[in-house]
Amino acid sequence: MNSSLGNFKLSKFKLGSKSSESKNSVSKSFGSKNFGSKKKAKPKSEEESNQKLPQWMEKRFPETRQMTLDLKRIFVFLTGTSGALLIAIGLLFLMGVNFQSTLIYALSFWLLALIVISIFFTYRNLSGLTLRAVQASPCFAGEKAVFELEVSCPKQQKKSAIFIGWKNQDVATVNLHDNHTIHIKLSHSTKHRGRFKPEKLSIFTSYPLGLIKGWSYALLNMNSIVYPAPLLQESEDKGDSLDEEADQGMEIPRGTTDFSGIRDYQAGDSPRHIHWGAYAKTGKVQTKTFVDYASHDLWLDWDALSISGTEIKLSHLCAKVLQYHQEQQVYGLKIPGRTIQPASGEAHRNTCLTALALFGEGDHSDAQTQVSTDGIGS
């Protein structure tokens, strides 16, 4: 419970300017833990539910990794079409009265009943739908973070035309007919580096008749690491490698490039390196040894940068990480509070980028960061 409260504070609901106030009250009621006794009526309309999102919403839509839609979480209301149909029904009823036609009466009543039963069918289309956070891919600030969700429903059910997405972002259309579990990918635009946690997901359907809309929300516990936008500062470009010792590359033994000496044969030595000349002379099997020279370690050092501004520095370092990674260099990263030893490869790149992304975000342990990188924090 506590951890979910903590996460909630981090999450960015679109509360607007008055958010601090309402957040406080939210926190209080969370602390007192007596919200269970307060029963809030179902919201009458979408607008209403948006404006006062807080208390009942939190209770019904706690931040979880997996959420199933049920009675508490599904809202239904008339659509514009059902309004138009109601007008048509009124027209038919008038016809029925003025022409005293029993059949037209029956027709208008049947259509009315159709609207009523639509409530149940639309509800059924959402009920039992389960959303589960699967994976979040990191991205650079300004790009789109991709979240992978698993959408499923009980085996005996079918779901049609359900739209899932964040407001003003991509929307996925879900149909569960033959498959009862599918994976969808949703993307969300990002602005700033750091740990990006999308706001609540909206789930919407008006199936089967379009007369009733049903909707719900899911606040899935998933976040994506947003790396700083890579932006190379030209003025710094030359100063990237520090304490350069061009001649004194470190020897890497058991290399293949330069000859360094001869020693006795050991099991496993390549026959190509056996000193056949010596063998012919002495009858003793000896091996020629070679060394490689590692290019000198590159250090990306925060303190060595002459540019100012945290974000600018981070963007620059990010660009350099990408550059070295591309050049398959061995590089290390030093930023205040964190030093990453030189290495190379995909994992190393991600570690560095993550460190840059989360710079200044405080005391997140490495382990947690690691989970967030390749999966989802739990």
Partner 1 sequence: MFEKGFPQDKLITYSGMLWLLAAQIVVMLPLIFYLPIWLLPILIFSAVWRIRVMQGHNAQPGNLIKIIIGLLGLGALAASGVKVVSLDMMASLLMLGFAYKALEVIQRRDGMVVILTGFVLIGVLFLYNQSMLIALYGVLSMTVLTGALIAIQQSKSYAILPNLRLSSMMLLLCLPLMLLFFFFAPRFEPFWKVPQTSGHAKTGISDSMTPGDIAELSQSDDLAFSVKFEGKRPGQNELYWRGLVLQHFDGKTWTQSDIPNGKGIKIGNDRLSEKQVAESIVKRGDSVEYEVIYEKSGQPWLFALTPVLEVKGRAFLGGDFRIISYRDINEPKLLKLTSYPNSLREVELSDYDRDLALQLPENGNQKSRFLADQLMASSASNQEYINRVLDRFRQDQYFYTLRPPTLGSENSIDDFLIDSKRGFCAHYAGSFVFMMRAAGIPARVVTGYQGGKWNEQGQFLAVHQFDAHAWTEVWLEGQGWVRFDPTAMVAPSRIEQNLETAMESEGSFLEDNFLSMSKIKWLDGIREKIDSAQYAWRRHVLGYDKNAQQNFLKKMFGELSVQKIGLIVGGLFAGIILLWVMFLGLARKRETEAEEHQLYRRFCDLMAKKGVTRDISQTPETFRRFAMQELPDLAGEINHFSQAYSSVCYDPSIQSKHQSYIDDMKSLLKKLNR
Residue 105 engages partner 1 in binding (rule: CB under 8 A): yes
Residue 44's alpha-carbon distances to 47, 78, 250, in angstroms, are 9, 10, 72
Residue 150 engages partner 1 in binding (rule: CB under 8 A): yes
- Compute the least distance from the CB of residue 174 to partner 1, in Å: 9
Residue 365 engages partner 1 in binding (rule: CB under 8 A): no
Distance, CA of 163 to CA of 161 (rounded, Å): 6
Residue 342 engages partner 1 in binding (rule: CB under 8 A): no
Out of 12, 21, 52, 99, which residue is the one contacting partner 1 (CB under 8 A)? 99
Out of 19, 62, 78, 163, which residue is the one contacting partner 1 (CB under 8 A)? 163
- Compute the least distance from the CB of residue 68 to partner 1, in Å: 7
Rounded to the nearest 5°, which phi and psi values hold at 163? -105, 130
Residue 13 engages partner 1 in binding (rule: CB under 8 A): no
Q: Please report, as a single letter, which amino acid is at residue 88.
A: A
Dig out the tokens for 102 from the structure. 């029993």
Distance, CA of 15 to CA of 233 (rounded, Å): 36
Rounded to the nearest 5°, which phi and psi values hold at 306? -95, -15
| Residue indicated by tokens 């209080």 | 28
Nearer to partner 1, 84 or 262 (CB): 84
Nearer to partner 1, 205 or 233 (CB): 205
Nearer to partner 1, 145 or 162 (CB): 162
Out of 11, 29, 55, 175, which residue is the one contacting partner 1 (CB under 8 A)? 175
Residue 333's DSSP bridge partners are 300, 340
Dig out the tokens for 42 from the structure. 């179902």
Residue 252 engages partner 1 in binding (rule: CB under 8 A): no
| Residue indicated by tokens 């939210």 | 26
Nearer to partner 1, 62 or 128 (CB): 128
SS3 state of residue 155: coil
| DSSP of 76-138 | EEE-HHHHHHHHHHHHHHHHHHHTT-HHHHHHHHHHHHHHHHHHHHHHHHHTT-EEEEEEEE-
Name the nearest CA neighbour of 227 among 142, 300, 147, 148: 142
Q: Which residues ranging from 25 to 84 are in contact with partner 1 (CB under 8 A)?
A: 46-47, 68, 70, 81, 84
- Compute the least distance from the CB of residue 123 to partner 1, in Å: 7
Nearer to partner 1, 206 or 241 (CB): 206
- Compute the least distance from the CB of residue 335 to partner 1, in Å: 28
- Compute the least distance from the CB of residue 55 to partner 1, in Å: 21
- Compute the least distance from the CB of residue 160 to partner 1, in Å: 6
Q: Please report, as a single letter, which amino acid is at residue 188.
A: H
- Compute the least distance from the CB of residue 277 to partner 1, in Å: 52
Residue 156 engages partner 1 in binding (rule: CB under 8 A): yes
Q: Which residues ranging from 184 to 243 are in contact with partner 1 (CB under 8 A)?
A: 202, 204, 206-210, 213, 215
Distance, CA of 202 to CA of 129 (rounded, Å): 13
Residue 185's DSSP bridge partners are 148
Nearer to partner 1, 339 or 378 (CB): 378
Using alpha carbons only, what angle is made at residue 144 by residues 139 and 149, rounded to the nearest 5 degrees?
90
- Compute the least distance from the CB of residue 56 to partner 1, in Å: 18
Residue 130's DSSP bridge partners are 68, 152
Contact stretch for partner 1 (CB under 8 A) within 152-160, 243-251, 321-329, 347-355: 152-160
SS3 state of residue 20: helix
Nearer to partner 1, 120 or 259 (CB): 120
Nearer to partner 1, 22 or 135 (CB): 135
Report yes or no: 225 and 255 within 8 Å, Cβ to Cβ: no
Total residues binding partner 1 (CB under 8 A): 66
Rounded to the nearest 5°, which phi and psi values hold at 338? -155, 130
What residues make contact with partner 1 under the rule CB under 8 A? 46-47, 68, 70, 81, 84-85, 88, 91-92, 94-114, 116-118, 120-121, 123-124, 127-128, 132, 134, 150, 154, 156, 160-161, 163, 165, 167-168, 171, 173, 175, 177, 202, 204, 206-210, 213, 215, 375, 378
